[in-house]
Amino acid sequence: MDKERLNQEEFEIKVAKREHFKTKNKRPFWLILILIPVVSFSSLIFWRANKNAVISSLFGHLPYEEVSRDHLVEIQPDVFVHKDMYEDLLAMKRDAENDGVFLVFLSGYRSIKLQKEIFFYLKSIRNQIASERARVSAPPGYSEHSTGFAIDIGDANDRTTDFEVAFEKTEAFKWLITNAAKYHFILSFDKDHHSVDYEPWHWRYEGSVEALRIFNPSTETN
């Protein structure tokens, strides 16, 4: 008797499924033709509006590919930068000197391997969780330095402020705030940045199409 009941229940479930699909098939064909492009277009708009959110965040940092070594040049001993920003960076340094301000380049290109060592080394000396470390150092693969278009700048007359917020009090920083945009450099992490701590020494270059593409992935041209 139990076996007969199980067979009957299984049969009834299958019948219910067939009836369900049969009801769906009664939907007018013309309505389906209209809905398909509407739904597809809506999905595309939603994806485009949210694609940056999908690719963007790891503790507030964006992902960046590592630049080819062929695109790097040495701007000062052991400091390499992308060749596209080399001339503008030198011009900015030279013009600052003409105004009595002496810039020193602290760090340029950093490989993802080096960024990994920096990021995870901080764990052992600061006893911080990853989200805390990410406020002062980007995770590997998420640093602007890997692109070759980021440069850390100090004041040659006040080296005690290297990589310190106190750099904002130097003549070098004041000059940069007034003049850096002329050479296509902007401050990456200002005081209004919510996820990363304020870094007055960290500047990035946006004076080439390649740099704009990297730092503004949502920008599209016709």
pLDDT mean over 83-89: 98
> What pLDDT is stored for residue 26 in this prediction?
54
Give the whole-number percent of the chain exceeding pLDDT 70.
Answer: 60
Of the candidate ranges 25-34, 73-82, 111-120, 160-169, the one whose mean pLDDT is the lowest: 25-34
Fold of 69-215: Muramoyl-pentapeptide Carboxypeptidase; domain 2 (3.30.1380)
Report which of 199, 195, 182, 198 is spatially closest to residue 91, judged by C-alpha positions: 182
Query: What is the rounded distance in angstroms from the CA atom of residue 105 to the CA atom of residue 192?
Result: 24
CA atoms within 13 A on the CB side of 197: 12
Is residue 170 scored above 90 in pLDDT? yes
> What pLDDT is stored for residue 135 in this prediction?
60
Which part of the chain has CATH 3.30.1380.10?
69-215
- Fill in the amino acid letter for 210: E
Q: Is the pTM of this model over 0.75?
A: no
Greater confidence (17 vs 209) lies with 209
User: How many residues are present in the chain?
Assistant: 222
Q: How far apart are the first and last CA of the chain?
A: 73
Query: What is the rounded distance in angstroms from the CA atom of residue 31 to the CA atom of residue 152?
Result: 59
Is residue 161 scored above 90 in pLDDT? yes
Is residue 210 scored above 50 in pLDDT? yes
Positive or negative, the Cα torsion across 22, 27, 30, 34?
negative
Q: What are phi and psi of 19, to 5 degrees?
A: -65, -35
